[in-house]
Amino acid sequence: MPPSLQASKLKSLARQAGFELAGIAAAEPLADRLWFDGWVRRGMAGRMSYLTDHRAALRMDPRSLLPSARSLLCVGKVYNGPQPYSTSRTPRELGWISRYAWGDDYHRIVRLGLESVARQIEGVEHRICVDTAPLLERGYARMAGLGWIGRNTCLINQNLGSWVFLGEMLLSAGLEPDAPAPDRCGTCRRCIDACPTGALVSGPLGWELDSRLCISYFTIELHGPIEEQHRARMGWHVFGCDICQDVCPWNRRAALTTEPAFSPRFESPPLEQLASVTEKEFREMFRGSPVERARYRGFLRNVAVAMGNSGLRRFQEPLRRLARSTDDVVAGHALWALRQLQ
């Protein structure tokens, strides 16, 4: 094996590339695949077809992505900033955008870091994965010693917290794997009790996320109407939700990012401003940001719900404008919001 591909050297290259966490896992099927299969069969993925179609089977073995794979380099990059958590904010006229989406799209940043590592190794096949590949990345990150999977279903590192983006590089070289991190949630239930919609549920193999009840799913992944019984519990969230991480004790002293690309462009924008943006302005405002994923229609839908939950009657006029939208979904949610304010 080339000296440059010793596990310690590879992890050192990852840290030099800007990753705070780096570890090695074996490229073999995980026991987690049994949980994932049951989670999908119980409908927990909602309408996220990319988790339930033919790609679901690919997640069972990393060698489906790189047949020669023997090891995985798993990395973590902190994105947390010093701004207050969503659970400590009070202004009702502002919307909340999830912390991970305040800066540039992390897919590109994490991939660039892994590509810089790949350029320094020779003689092996590799494949870079950043979130979008069908890989059980939290499971492999756990096996690589990056942290444990908490009851909020996020990977938690004892020293850095959970505000960490994950990435992987599959390698055809056999490297010494790291030891899995121990679970340190203990008896804590803060994330479970704090979730406004009760999305963290007890499953056959422990606590799991029912996407069909999750605010992040409603505001990002769900295209179309949000069921009325969930809207009032969504609060001010217009893209994503951080509550289950905000209340986690391991995030009390969470590490702060040094990555300029993650500097906030927006965190709590005024709802009235968001309600008036045109589709062109939406694209310009959120270009290169994860917020693009919600799409213009879904974003206005979310803004309408947040206005309805604000209790502020001055939002009636912008909601009336949204209620005149030619898009039935936007108009329908605006009418619902008006009823809440009346």
Residue-wise pLDDT tens digits, 225-244 = 999 999 999 999 999 999 99
Whether 157 and 215 share a structural domain: no
Whether 238 and 149 share a structural domain: no
Does residue 3 surpass a pLDDT of 50?
A: no
Q: From the candidates 131, 183, 193, 327, which is the catalytic residue?
A: 131
Element (DSSP H or E) covering residue 24 = strand 21-26
Within-domain flag for 184 = no
Q: Provide the number of structural domains found in the chain.
A: 2
pLDDT computed for residue 59 by the predictor: 86
Rounded average pLDDT over 253-273: 93
Whether 264 and 151 share a structural domain: no
How many whole angstroms separate alpha carbon 171 and alpha carbon 67?
A: 10
Tell me which of 144, 171, 198 is where a domain ends: 171
Whether 108 and 229 share a structural domain: no
Whether 140 and 11 share a structural domain: yes
Does residue 264 surpass a pLDDT of 70?
A: yes
Tell me which of 127, 144, 171 is where a domain ends: 171
How confident is the model over 312-330, as pLDDT tens digits?
999 999 999 999 999 999 9
Whether 144 and 273 share a structural domain: no
Half-sphere exposure (CA, 13 Å, Cβ side) for 157? 24
How confident is the model over 303-313, as pLDDT tens digits?
999 999 999 99
How many whole angstroms separate alpha carbon 197 and alpha carbon 230?
A: 7
pLDDT computed for residue 19 by the predictor: 98
Whether 19 and 126 share a structural domain: yes
pLDDT computed for residue 1 by the predictor: 43
Catalytic site includes residue 328: no
Within-domain flag for 45 = yes
Whether 50 and 130 share a structural domain: yes
Tell me which of 113, 142, 171 is where a domain ends: 171
Whether 124 and 18 share a structural domain: yes
pLDDT computed for residue 4 by the predictor: 52
Whether 274 and 335 share a structural domain: yes
pLDDT computed for residue 89 by the predictor: 80
Within-domain flag for 306 = yes
What pLDDT band is residue 98 in, cutting at 50, 70 and 90? Answer: very high
Closest C-alpha to 164, from 7, 18, 268? 18
How many whole angstroms separate alpha carbon 121 and alpha carbon 7?
A: 12
pTM of the predicted structure, to 2 decimals: 0.94
Give the mean pLDDT of the chain. 95
Within-domain flag for 181 = no
pLDDT computed for residue 271 by the predictor: 97
Whether 160 and 223 share a structural domain: no
How many whole angstroms separate alpha carbon 256 and alpha carbon 82?
A: 7
User: What is the per-residue DSSP string for 92-124?
Assistant: TTB-EE-GGGSSS-HHHHHHHHHHHHHTT--SS
Rounded average pLDDT over 139-146: 98
- Poorest-confidence range of 78-92, 226-240, 270-284? 78-92
Whether 144 and 290 share a structural domain: no
Rounded average pLDDT over 287-307: 97
Domain range for residue 117?
3-81+103-171
pLDDT computed for residue 58 by the predictor: 83
pLDDT computed for residue 252 by the predictor: 96
How confident is the model over 166-205, as pLDDT tens digits?
999 999 999 999 999 999 999 999 999 999 999 999 999 8
